[in-house]
Structure 1
Amino acid sequence: MSVTIECQKRPEMSKSRALRSEGLIPANLYGHDGANSVHLVVKRKEAESLLRHAAANKTIVEVNIPDLSWQGTTVIREVQTHPWKGTIYHLSFFAVDKPED
C-alpha cells in the first residue's frame, strides 16, 4: 500500500511550538540527496490522516515537496507524539530507492 503526502519547506528560524499552533507539524526528510537532510512542515490534518493509513517503518509514502521540485519514495522512520495527549509533535521520513519491477 502506498500513501501520498505533500510537504512544504520549513521557514528559516521558525519555532516548532509556533508551527504547531498554526496547525503545522515539523518534519525532516533524510537521504533524499545523499547525506543531506531537509526541514519540512506538514499540515496537521494531512499528518493525522497519513498515520491512520500508514505505520512507521512499514508503509511506503510518496512525498511531494513543490518548493524543492522533489518527489520521491520514503518510509516514515519516526513519529514523535505528546506522552499523554497523543498529538503529533514531529515526523521523520527516510528516502528509499524505488523497487524495480
Structure 2
Amino acid sequence: MDQIELVAASRDILGKKVRFLRRQGLIPANLYGHNVESTALQIEASQLKHTLIKAGKSSLIALKVDGTKGPKMVIVRDIQREPLSGELLHVDLYQVKMEEKIKLEVPLLFVGEAPAIKERGGILVQNMSSLEVECLPADMPHNIEVDLSVLEEIDQAVHVKDLRADEGVTILTDPEQAIVQIARSRVEVEIAEEVAAAEAFAEAEVEEKVEAPEPTEEAAE
C-alpha cells in the first residue's frame, strides 16, 4: 500500500471555541504518544475524511505538521462524531516509534460464502468485528481475513484460534472466542420448538392416562 499522508497545523484555539474551527472546515485533533508531548492540531476536514476512509485505525499515516521537520508516523486512536449527523468532531492521533511494538484493534474482513447458509438454511451470526493485536508499526495489518467458506454445518463456528496472523503479528484476543457461527433460522427454531412442545404435551397426556386410577366397585355403584 502506498504511504498515506496527512497535513496538519498547530492549533491555538481550545475548548468550546473549536466550534468556530469546524465552521471554517477544520477539524480539531490531538497528537500524543509514548514520551511525546501532547500537541493540539487542526486538519482540513475534507482531507481528514479521505484519510480516515483510506487508513482507518490500522494503517500508518505520515503526518506533516507545519513548522516541524519531516513527517511523524502516526495511527488514528480515536474518532469522535456527532451522534445524529455522524459529522467529524475530533480525532486523536498516536505517534508511534518504529522500533517499539504497539497494541491496536484490527478490523476483520469477511470473505467467501458459507455453504451452510444456502444448503442448510442457516443464518450467519457475527460476534466480533475486530481483533486486538500486537506488532511493530511496520508489520501492522490493515485487516485480518475470515474465510466463511469453511462453514458447512449448522452450529459450526470460526474461532479466533482458527485465524492465521501475518509474521510478526500476535493476536491478543481470547483464542476461544467465536468470531462467527451458523445458527438455525428463526423459522426452523420456531418449528423445532413447536414440535418439541407438541411431543411434550402428547407424552404428558399418555402419562396421565397411565397413572389415572381405575374406578372402584363402590364408586361404580
Q: Provide the TM-score with structure 1 as the length reference.
A: 0.86
The residue number in structure 1 matching 2:86 is 86
Distance 1:47 1:28 in 2: 13
The residue number in structure 1 matching 2:20 is 18
The residue number in structure 2 matching 1:51 is 52
The residue number in structure 1 matching 2:32 is 30
The residue number in structure 1 matching 2:68 is 68
Give 1:69's aligned amino acid.
K
Question: Displacement, 1:91?
Answer: 0.6
Distance 2:52 2:33 in 1: 21
Question: Displacement, 1:3?
Answer: 1.0
The residue number in structure 1 matching 2:43 is 42
Q: Which has the higher helix share?
A: 2
Q: Larger radius of gyration, structure 1 or 2?
A: 2
Q: Identity over aligned residues, as a percent?
A: 28
Question: Displacement, 1:42?
Answer: 0.1
Give 2:8's aligned amino acid.
C
Q: Which structure's relative contact order is higher, taking Cα pairs within 8 Å and 6+ residues apart?
A: 1
Cα gap change, 1:13 to 1:84, in 2 (>3 Å): closer
The more displaced of 3-12 and 13-22 is 13-22
Q: Secondary structure at the match of 1:52?
A: helix
Distance 1:8 1:24 in 2: 10
Q: Secondary structure at the match of 1:67?
A: coil
How many correspondences in the alignment? 98
CA contact (8 A) 2:36 2:95 kept: no
CA contact (8 A) 1:30 1:95 kept: yes
Distance 2:13 2:85 in 1: 28
Distance 2:95 2:36 in 1: 11
Question: Displacement, 1:13?
Answer: 4.9
CA contact (8 A) 2:33 2:94 kept: yes
Q: Provide the TM-score with structure 2 as the length reference.
A: 0.41
CA contact (8 A) 1:75 1:94 kept: yes
CA contact (8 A) 1:29 1:37 kept: yes
Question: Displacement, 1:84?
Answer: 1.6
Q: Secondary structure at the match of 2:67?
A: helix
Name the Cα RMSD after superposition: 1.9
User: Which consecutive residues of structure 1, in runs of 5 or more, have no partner in the other structure?
Assistant: none
Q: Which has the higher strand share?
A: 1
